[in-house]
């Protein structure tokens, strides 16, 4: 029974284009409307506050109902602007509460507590800055709703309480948002680990099932090609087939490397030298390479072969993003994080990455290229993470992308043997 009700509620929520928090907002508006109708029907505790069907209170509740319907109908017909609609609703609701306080008992009216509810809700939804603004606006509107001058110290204490609610609820909301971001990142890391485990199992099987047949096919093609005359046109066909075999073999090698990464053999190295070495493998064509090196950076504690490959994968990716030419800017600089003080930034002026693709660029097999394997950036990310570093990407459609790698510093010479947890030779 409970699951059926939940399913119906979720279906109804999706039909109105509402997120879970938005559904809570709607529920609270409905509850407020229901409470207002009950209050109008039975009146307040004293006879002086009882209302008639033509009373200002009823007209106010009718306006609140009409605005609520218009609010969510607008969101259903033109989704994507719910935050703006809530800001408009805040202004409207403040004046609704103003009217109710004004036509009841003014300062003595308990309906001023509705200001507190509005402040808390919008602070929780938007954060501390909106919470403070809502508190200031509520205090100003409340001042207009009561007799002037308002009683002291009661009125200032109530307004101060508005501000306290806005600050506390906004702070809690922002803290909860940060925790949610961390939780989503951890969940993404777990999913990525599961995918890597699957890739590892698949890679081992592919290596055994495909590499030996590919080697046999390549050998057989060489034998067949040797039997052809030198001027035979079929030589070009054999060359094309051989190139595809080499490409398949390279893909299997990348897959195996990603699934079974080599253990880093770390040494202290100048990151500028390592970046320059990687740049030598970039084609000299219409792409302009701009170097901006910080020569005062500390040494990094890395496996030069692995980090060279990670940098090269990112450089090749940036180069391929500019098929018609552009500018490739490589920057080394001091990072903001003490534990990862050295940063390498690779910036291109290509077409950029679609926003929905940004979170997937480091996933294995994700690619938007016709001839890509989707392993280059995944391998780069895996290598950087092996070193305890961090890799990130920023992109803007039409302006290009920027990949940034942050790496740890080399420990003092006396501690380097302890810091390298992998004394055994690679492979």
pLDDT tens, position by position, 43-85: 544 444 444 555 666 777 777 788 778 877 777 777 767 778 7
Cβ atoms of residues 199 and 255 within 8 Å: yes
Question: 165: closest CA among 143, 132, 139, 126?
Answer: 132
Q: Please indicate, yes or no, whether residues 169 and 229 belong to a single structural domain of this protein.
A: no
Do 339 and 362 share a structural domain? Answer: yes
Query: What are the backbone angles phi and psi of residue 18, rounded to the nearest 5°?
Result: -115, 140
Residues 131, 13 share a domain: yes
Count other Cβ atoms within 10 Å, centred on residue 61.
21
Q: How would you classify the pairing of strands 340-347 and 326-337?
A: antiparallel
Give, in order, the Cα–Cα distances in Å from 264 to each of 341, 406, 419.
20, 16, 12
Q: Is residue 426 part of a domain?
A: no
Q: Whose structure tokens read 């309480």?
A: 161
What tokens were used for 227? 């039997």
Residue 363, in any domain of the structure: yes
Shared domain check, 391 and 373:
yes
Instruction: Record the tokens describing residue 119, joined without a space.
Output: 């402040």
pLDDT at 167 over 60: yes
Cβ-based burial of 91 (10 A; exposed 0-12, middle 13-18, buried ≥19): exposed
Count the domains in the chain. Answer: 3
Task: Give domain status of residue 397, yes or no.
Answer: yes
Q: What is the pLDDT of residue 149?
A: 81
Per DSSP bridges, beta strands 287-292 and 326-337 are parallel
Q: What is the pLDDT of residue 332?
A: 95
Q: For residues 166 and 226, state if they share a domain.
A: no
Which pair of tokens denotes residue 118? 């509005």
Domain match, 26 and 168 both: yes
- Do 11 and 149 lie in one domain? The reply is yes
Tell whether 424 is covered by a domain: no
Residue with structure tokens 């605005």?
A: 67
Task: Please check the confidence at residue 427 and state whether its pLDDT lies above 50.
Answer: no
Domain presence at residue 216: yes
User: Are 181 and 198 within one domain?
Assistant: no
Does some domain include residue 427? no
Query: What distances in angstroms separate CA 379 from CA 42, 187, 225, 420, one per listed residue?
Result: 70, 20, 36, 21
What are residue 297's phi and psi, to 5 degrees? -70, 150
C-alpha–C-alpha distance, residues 96 and 104, integer Å: 12
If asked whether residues 141 and 50 sit together in one domain, one would say yes
**Which domain range does residue 242 map to?**
193-259
Q: Same domain, yes or no, for 182 and 197?
A: no
**425 confidence band (pLDDT: 50, 70, 90):** very low
How far is 351 from 321, CA to CA, in rounded Å?
7
Cα 293-297-299 angle, rounded to 5 deg: 120
Q: List beta partners, residue 395.
A: 401
The answer to whether 161 touches 146, Cβ cutoff 8 Å, is no
106 CB neighbour count, 10 Å cutoff: 15
User: pLDDT over 70 for what percent of the chain?
Assistant: 76
Question: Is the overall model pTM greater than 0.85, yes or no?
Answer: no
Helix 376-386 to helix 304-320 angle (10° resolution) is 150
Same domain flag for 15 and 146: yes
- Please say which residue of 232, 259, 286 terminates a domain: 259
Nearest 5°: CA angle at 114, between 101 and 171? 140
Query: Could you tell me the CATH number of the domain that includes residue 288?
Result: 3.30.565.10
Segment 290-311, tens digit of pLDDT: 999 999 999 999 999 899 989 9
Domain assignment present for residue 281? The answer is yes
CB 342 within 8 A of CB 297: yes
Choose one of 259, 289, 304: the last residue of a domain.
Answer: 259
Rg (CA), the chain: 32
Does 167 share its domain with 199?
no
Q: Is the peptide bond before 145 cis (omega within 30 degrees of 0)?
A: no
d(CA 252, CA 211): 8
Q: What is the CATH number of the domain that holds 211?
A: 1.10.287
Would 15 be classed as within a structural domain?
Answer: yes
Of the listed ranges 228-232, 353-357, 406-410, the least confidently predicted one is 228-232
Of 259, 292, 316, which one is at a domain's C-terminal end? 259
């Amino acid at each position: 029974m409970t699951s059926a009700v939940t399913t119906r509620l979720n279906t109804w929520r999706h039909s109105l284009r509402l997120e879970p928090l938005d559904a809570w907002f709607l529920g609270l508006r409905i509850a407020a409307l229901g409470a207002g109708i009950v209050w109008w029907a039975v009146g307040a505790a004293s006879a002086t506050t009882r209302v008639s069907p033509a009373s200002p209170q009823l007209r106010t509740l009718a306006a609140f109902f009409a605005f609520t319907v218009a609010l969510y109908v607008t969101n259903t017909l033109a989704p994507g602007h719910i935050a703006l609609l809530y800001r408009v609703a805040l202004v409207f609701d403040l004046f609704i509460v103003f009217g109710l306080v004004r036509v009841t008992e003014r300062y003595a009216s308990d309906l001023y507590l509705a200001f507190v509810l509005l402040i808390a809700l919008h602070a929780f939804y938007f954060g501390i800055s909106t919470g403070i603004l809502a508190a200031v606006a509520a205090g100003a509107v409340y001042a207009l709703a009561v007799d002037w001058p308002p009683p002291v110290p009661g009125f200032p204490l109530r307004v101060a309480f508005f501000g306290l609610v806005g600050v506390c609820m906004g702070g809690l909301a922002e803290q909860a948002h940060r925790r949610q971001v961390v939780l989503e990142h951890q969940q993404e890391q777990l999913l990525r680990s599961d995918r890597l485990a699957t890739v590892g199992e698949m890679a081992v099987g592919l290596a055994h099932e495909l590499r030996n047949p590919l080697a046999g096919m390549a050998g057989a093609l060489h034998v067949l090609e040797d039997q052809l005359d030198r001027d035979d046109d079929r030589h070009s066909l054999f060359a094309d087939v051989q190139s595809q075999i080499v490409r398949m073999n390279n893909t299997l090698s990348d897959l195996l490397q990603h699934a079974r990464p080599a253990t880093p053999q770390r040494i202290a190295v100048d990151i500028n030298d390592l970046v320059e070495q990687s740049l030598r493998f970039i084609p000299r064509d219409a792409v302009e390479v701009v170097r901006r090196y910080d020569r005062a950076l500390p040494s990094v504690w890395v496996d030069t072969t692995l980090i060279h490959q990670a940098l090269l994968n990112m450089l090749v990716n940036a180069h391929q993003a500019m098929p018609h030419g552009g500018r490739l800017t490589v920057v080394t600089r001091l990072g903001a994080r003490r534990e990862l003080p050295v940063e390498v930034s690779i910036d291109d002026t290509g077409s950029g990455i679609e926003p929905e693709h940004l979170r997937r660029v480091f996933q294995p097999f994700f690619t938007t290229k016709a001839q890509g394997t989707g392993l280059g950036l995944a391998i780069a990310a895996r290598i950087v993470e092996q070193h305890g570093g961090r890799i990130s990407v920023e992109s803007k459609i039409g302006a290009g992308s920027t990949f940034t790698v942050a790496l740890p510093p080399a420990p003092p010479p006396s501690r380097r043997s302890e810091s390298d947890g992998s004394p055994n030779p690679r492979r």
